[in-house]
């Protein structure tokens, strides 16, 4: 089970690396001058490739997480009773991470379509969301506060 847990951590870290960097590309896209077609196309290509790679990394992260959940669920008392609320809050955080990834895909499609986008300042704040999600998730798993 330690192998599964190790690879789960590696894939989650890799997935989040993509979620950290993709909005930084969006910041740069929001700053590109309208007449800079080549720069815009280069940034869109980078964003598309990173989004696909990030989405692919999320699959084994989720699969290995489900494997751990199913394996640990068979342990007496795991996930039941007082002191296990952290697990359910963690699952909400995982859902939020996938929602964030979906939002990144939606924003990327809008950039590709040439639609109006939020300002670079908005994207700088948007970029902080996965940091909060990851921090809360790690604290929940390690500290198990409730």
pLDDT digit string (tens) for 31-59? 998 789 999 999 999 999 999 999 999 99
Residue 22 above 90 pLDDT?
yes
CA-based nearest residue to 107, from 36, 20, 48:
48
pLDDT value, residue 19: 98
pLDDT value, residue 113: 94
Mean pLDDT of 5-16: 97
Range of the domain at 48: 2-143
Q: What's the pTM?
A: 0.92
Q: Could you tell me if 47 and 24 are in contact, meaning their C-beta atoms sit under 8 angstroms apart? A: no
H helix runs in the chain, sequence order: 2-31, 37-73, 85-113, 120-126, 129-143
pLDDT value, residue 9: 97
pLDDT value, residue 31: 95
Domain count, the chain: 1
């Amino acid at each position: 089970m330690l192998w599964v847990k190790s690879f789960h951590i590696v894939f989650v870290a890799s997935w989040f690396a993509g979620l950290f960097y993709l909005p930084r590309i969006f910041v740069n896209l929001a700053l590109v001058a309208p007449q800079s077609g080549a720069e815009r196309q280069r940034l869109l290509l980078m964003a598309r490739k990173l989004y696909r790679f990030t989405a692919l990394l999320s699959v084994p992260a989720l699969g290995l997480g489900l494997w751990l959940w199913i394996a640990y669920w068979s342990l007496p008392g795991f996930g039941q009773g007082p002191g296990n609320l952290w697990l359910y809050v963690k699952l909400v955080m995982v859902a939020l991470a996938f929602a964030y990834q979906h939002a990144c895909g939606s924003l990327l499609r809008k950039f590709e379509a040439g639609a109006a986008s939020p300002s670079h300042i908005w994207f700088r704040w948007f970029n902080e969301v996965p940091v909060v999600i990851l921090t809360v998730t790690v604290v929940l798993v390690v500290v198990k506060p409730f």
